[in-house]
Amino acid sequence: MTGALTTGTKAAALAVIVGALCLLFEGLMPWIISFPAAWTLPLTNWVGTGAGEALALIKPTARGFSDLMSYPMDWAKLGLNAAPWPLILGVVLALGWRTGGVPMLVLAAVGMAFVLASGYWEQGMNTLALVAVSVPLALIMGAGIGILANEVPRVREPVQVVLDVMQTVPTFAYLTPLLVLFGFGPVVGLVASAIYAAPPMARNVLLGLQRIEPEIKEAAIMAGGTRRQQLFQIELPAAMTQIMVGVNQSLMAALSMVIIAAVIGGFNDIGWEVLLTMRKGWFGQSLMAGMVIVVFAILIDRMSGTLAQERKPQFDSRIGWGLVALGAIVAVVTYGQLGETSDYAMLGPVTKQVDAGLTAFTTANADWLNALKNNALFYVLLPIRIGLDQAVLPFTWGFMWTSQMSLWLFAGAGVVSAGLIVSGRVMGGLIVLIIAGILETGVSQLPWPFALVAAGGLAWSAGGRKLALLIVALLASILLAGLWERALLSFYLSGVSVFACAVIGGGIGLISAVSPMTWKVVRPVCDMLQTIPLFVFLIPILMVFQIGEFSAFLAIIAYAIVPMIRYTRQGLVETPEEMIEGAIASGATKWQMLFHVRAPYAAPTILLGLNQTILYAFAMLVIAALIGTTGLGQSIYLALNKADVGLGLSAGAAMAILAFGADRIVQGFAEDRRKALGL
């Protein structure tokens, strides 16, 4: 690292200089810290007006589509609700048998029995009706986009950007315009979940088509079919396994979005039920409703997951039909005697016990939990947010922060940094200086010139000049739109959460990789955290930690930690055999192997996990607004409630910009790492 300066060091040096200048002149020029309102452009209003006009233009078409879609919706809802439950049970069991034999049959039986016993059968069927219509829509949309990107290489790059936008702009941000377009009712939820569920399908279709062996393509060309014949008769079937992965991912995405869309109401589905019970603060009941979604998600995931396997297991179709027939017979015999499905609810006592348990737990452990929260806030979260100069107060740290202390801090950092630079670690020295500066100032009060330069520099070293320019331009648009302070708050909250996820999740992933027993326990917990409606977590967290930032921090971690755990384990476990054998031959211990062989090899996979964690954390920010956070999430939620299209879209775009920037920078570093490993 000595001698020649890399792009990274140059960028870091520039950031240090700009940061130091900002600190020096912040007293003289307050506009360095808070971007003057007079310099902002009424971008939000322009977006509102522009979107309003565009919406008015396509509204008639959209309303037509809405009317059209309401037929299959009503049919699905009516069909699933009118069918007696023994018949539906028979069909689900048959599907379970056909896709996975006896184990899947048992899983399906237990799952559906739980749905019936929870008392939410009707709401569950309505949710399934929504998924049943939105998923085909998402699949058609996704497949169309994927095939288009495959056939016309020129559009591939813009298509990737569109897919990113579809996945990163929070759904809450575009619910209002969708409501104006499609009118009130479940069709809005349908469209929202289709928008969110289409990208995984599109990506997998494209990936599948690109991965087809050249020999197969050549054979298709030799056979002399038209392009369309080649595509539909040879290439798509050859890519079917990969496409099925897309179908599976689409299903899961649609299921998770159905809940969010319930905020609008109009369908009496599980999401609505979760919202109602949560409003009353009934944890047990909302957990029960949430678990119905988890059951559906697990069944759909496992059943559709077998579709993606290369060699599908074969199970006797006669038994499947037998199960359907049995269900039908039971339904006919018991016709008129089954009563309401809600009569089968028998888990009421369980929900009461869950509530009582939560109360007992919070009462018994209030003291240390409170101490945990106070310590985390005083010594970690507040200093990072508003800086040591404001967070250190007599009643938090026991003394008052003075400007001398700031000087001492900078002097100390300067000494450490000089030592590092002299010993050749220039980059390390510069980073120490940057961290000291950020700690003193606080993330939410970072001077904007410094933030732009630092982000640009980071992007430059991760992905080159083009990425740096793009990211600086996008961030500048947030600045001009007057959303900067809120964006910094969101960045701070998701940043600390992602950091905590990386440390804790990485640790859990590591342990899971070493000990298969731990993974057996961790895996179902991960499944549940990912599929249960996010709202459900908020109640117990609030019960213990009250409204505010710390609760939001925990809620984000609960959701965003999952990919970190999964990918860390995945990366560490799948190190190629020959590398391990080589290490064993050279006498490496278990831990040496982990840190020197497995960890470097797993780095790209772990970085991908980090990337997913970042996206998840941003997705959860909007939900966290429900427990009183500030920042972009709150703006989006506010805009939804006030039906303010301009603010909703702008704040959503700002959120997407932050997520997009973080994503591209991490991916850039992962790419370098992969190249270094020769992958």
Note the residues at the interface with other proteins (CB under 8 A).
63, 67, 179-180, 183-185, 263-268, 272, 275-276, 278-281, 359, 362-363, 366, 373-374, 377-378, 393, 395-396, 538-539, 542-544, 546-550, 625-629, 634, 637-638, 640-644
Q: Pick the closer one to other proteins by CB: 575 or 634.
A: 634
Q: Pick the closer one to other proteins by CB: 235 or 355.
A: 355
| Dihedral, CA of residue 98, residue 103, residue 109 and residue 111, to nearest 10 | -110
CB of 297 to other proteins, least distance (A): 23
CB of 542 to other proteins, least distance (A): 4
Asked whether the beta carbons of 493 and 621 are under 8 A apart, the reply is yes
* CA–CA distance, 300 with 307 (Å, rounded to integer): 11
CB of 277 to other proteins, least distance (A): 9
CA-to-CA dists, residue 615 to 114, 178, 354, 533, angstroms: 32, 23, 32, 17
Q: Pick the closer one to other proteins by CB: 179 or 206.
A: 179
* CA–CA distance, 201 with 306 (Å, rounded to integer): 17
Long-range pairs for 371-380 at CB < 8 Å and ≥24 separation? 373/545, 373/550, 376/550, 376/553, 377/549, 377/550, 380/496
* CA–CA distance, 679 with 673 (Å, rounded to integer): 9
CB of 619 to other proteins, least distance (A): 17
CA-to-CA dists, residue 304 to 76, 131, 406, 435, 640, angstroms: 20, 14, 58, 47, 34
Q: Pick the closer one to other proteins by CB: 321 or 378.
A: 378
CB of 540 to other proteins, least distance (A): 9
Q: Pick the closer one to other proteins by CB: 211 or 642.
A: 642
CB of 655 to other proteins, least distance (A): 17
∠ CA 67-650-621 to the nearest 5 degrees? Answer: 90
CB of 642 to other proteins, least distance (A): 5
CB of 283 to other proteins, least distance (A): 8
Asked whether the beta carbons of 172 and 636 are under 8 A apart, the reply is yes
Sign of the Cα pseudo-torsion (33, 34, 36, 42, in order)? positive
Task: Determine how many CB atoms are found less than 10 A away from the CB of residue 138.
Answer: 30
Asked whether the beta carbons of 45 and 646 are under 8 A apart, the reply is yes
HSE, side-chain direction, 13 A CA sphere, residue 108: 24
Q: Pick the closer one to other proteins by CB: 235 or 549.
A: 549
Helix, strand or coil, per DSSP, at residue 126: helix
CB of 356 to other proteins, least distance (A): 10
Element (H, E) at 306: helix 283-307
CB of 547 to other proteins, least distance (A): 5
Q: Pick the closer one to other proteins by CB: 114 or 378.
A: 378
CB of 496 to other proteins, least distance (A): 15
Structure letter (DSSP) for residue 596: I
Which tokens hold the place of 286? Answer: 């909302």
Q: Pick the closer one to other proteins by CB: 190 or 626.
A: 626
CA-to-CA dists, residue 218 to 37, 214, 227, angstroms: 61, 6, 12
* CA–CA distance, 200 with 216 (Å, rounded to integer): 25
Long-range pairs for 117-120 at CB < 8 Å and ≥24 separation? 117/344, 117/345, 117/346, 117/347, 118/288, 118/289, 118/291, 118/292, 118/345, 118/347, 119/288, 119/341, 119/342, 119/344, 119/345, 119/346, 119/347, 119/348, 120/270, 120/273, 120/288, 120/289, 120/292
Asked whether the beta carbons of 559 and 620 are under 8 A apart, the reply is yes
CB of 457 to other proteins, least distance (A): 34
Q: Pick the closer one to other proteins by CB: 549 or 663.
A: 549
Q: Pick the closer one to other proteins by CB: 147 or 262.
A: 262
Q: Pick the closer one to other proteins by CB: 309 or 365.
A: 365
> End-to-end distance of the chain based on CA atoms, in angstroms?
24
CB of 188 to other proteins, least distance (A): 9
Helices 283-307 and 270-279 sit at what angle, rounded to 10 degrees?
A: 160
Q: Pick the closer one to other proteins by CB: 36 or 398.
A: 398
CB of 137 to other proteins, least distance (A): 21
Q: Pick the closer one to other proteins by CB: 101 or 628.
A: 628
**CA diameter of the chain:** 87
Name 304's Cβ contacts closer than 8 Å, sequence gap at least 6: 244, 247, 248, 251
CB of 437 to other proteins, least distance (A): 25
Asked whether the beta carbons of 289 and 123 are under 8 A apart, the reply is yes
Q: Pick the closer one to other proteins by CB: 206 or 640.
A: 640
Q: Pick the closer one to other proteins by CB: 538 or 654.
A: 538
CB of 617 to other proteins, least distance (A): 18
Task: Number of helices (H) and strands (E) in the chain: give both, helices first.
Answer: 30, 0
Q: Pick the closer one to other proteins by CB: 474 or 638.
A: 638
Q: With left for phi above 0 and alpha for psi between -120 and 50, is residue 400 left, alpha or beta?
A: beta
